[in-house]
Structure 1
Amino acid sequence: MTLDLIIIGVAIALHPLPAMALILLLSGDRGVRKGLAFVLAWLASMVLVIGCVLLFTGGSPPREHTAPSTAALAVKLAIGLGLILFGAYKKRKEARPRAEPTWLGKMRNASGWSAAGMGVLLQPWGLVAAGAATVMNADLSHAVTWLTLLLYCLLSTSTFLAMELYATFRPARAGARLQALLHGITTHQDQAVVVLSLVVGFWLTGKSLYELT
C-alpha cells in the first residue's frame, strides 16, 4: 500500500492543471489569501475522501481472497485501465492546438470562495480515486498506517504548499519565478498529463492483475 500511495501522491502533486490555477491565483490581488483557500480546500477534500473510505472499511482491510478484497482489486484494475485509456486519448490530441480554457484566465480575479471551490473541482479525480481504492487496504490498528496516510496527504499537496509558502515568505522573488514556472507548465501540460496517467495506470493495472491471479 505504501509504494502505491507514494506513486499516486507524486502523480497528484505534479498534475499541471491545478498548479496552473494556483499560480494564477497567487499572481492576482490578495493572491496569498486566495492561494491558501485553494490549498486548504484541496487538502480538506483529500482528507474527506480518505475518511469516507476508512469509515466504509471500518479501518480494517478486507481479508485476502474474499469477495470484498476481489472487488477492491477490480476497482483498482478498472481505474488503472481508465487512466491508460485517458492517457492514450490525450496522447492522440497532443499535437492539436487548443485554446486556453476561459475560466483559467479568470483565476487572477477569482474570489476567495471561488478559489476554495477550484481547490475541490480541480482535483485529478481519477488519481484521487486510485488513492481511495488503495486506502481500502489500510489497517488503522498499526501506527505506521496513520503515518503513511498523513504522508500521502502531504505528498499530494506538497507542490501547492511549496508555492503558497514561497509566495508568502518571498513575494518579490516568487512573482517572476512562478510566472516562468507557469509558462513551462503551460507548454508541457499535455505531455505531463499523458505521462502521469500512463505511469499510474500501468502500475495499478499490472499490480491488480498480479494480485488477482
Structure 2
Amino acid sequence: MLSQAIGAVLPAALAVALSPFPLIAIVLILSGAQGRRNGLLFATGWIFGLTVSATLVSLLFGGADDPDSTSSAIADWGRVLAGGALIGLGARK
C-alpha cells in the first residue's frame, strides 16, 4: 500500500525537486564568492528540507485511506482549508 502511494507521488516529487528555481539559485550561488562551500550548504539544506517535508507528510497522512483514522480527518480538513483559501484568493483577484 505504501509503495503504491510512493509510486503515485514520485513523479510530482521529482518535478518539484528538479524545478528551475533551485537550479537557478545553485548557479547564482556557485558563481558568487565561496561558491563551492555555499553550493554544498545549499544542496544539503535542500535535501534536508525535502526529507523533513516527506517525513511530516507520511506521518500526518500515513493512514489517510482508512476512513476511520485521524489522518483521514486531517486530510479532509486540509482539503477544506485549501479550498477556502483558493476561494478567498479568487474573490480577492
Q: Confirm or deny that 1:48 pairs with 2:57.
A: no
Detail structure 1 runs of 4+ shifted over 6 Å in the superposition. Answer: none
- Residue 64 of structure 1 corresponds to which residue in structure 2? 66
Structure 1 residue runs without a partner (length 5+):
90-213
Shift, 1:6, TM fit: 1.2
Q: What is the TM-score of this pair, normalised by structure 1?
A: 0.30
1:1-213 residue pairs with structure 2 within 5 A? 1-54=5-58, 61-62=63-64, 64-66=66-68, 68=70, 69-75=72-78, 78=82
Percent same amino acid among aligned pairs? 27
Tell me the amino acid that sits aligned with residue 37 of structure 1. L
Q: CA deviation digits over 1:166-185, x for unaligned, max 9?
A: xxxxxxxxxxxxxxxxxxxx
The structure with higher relative contact order (CA 8 Å, sep 6+) is 1
- CA-based RMSD of the aligned residues comes to 3.2
CA gap 1:21/1:55 in 2 versus in 1, 3 angstroms: same
Shift, 1:39, TM fit: 0.5
Structure 2 residue runs without a partner (length 5+):
none
Tell me the amino acid that sits aligned with residue 43 of structure 2. V
Q: What is the TM-score of this pair, normalised by structure 2?
A: 0.59
Tell me the amino acid that sits aligned with residue 41 of structure 1. G
Number of matched pairs: 81
- Quick one: distance in 1 between partners of 2:6 and 2:51? 17
Shift, 1:55, TM fit: 5.1
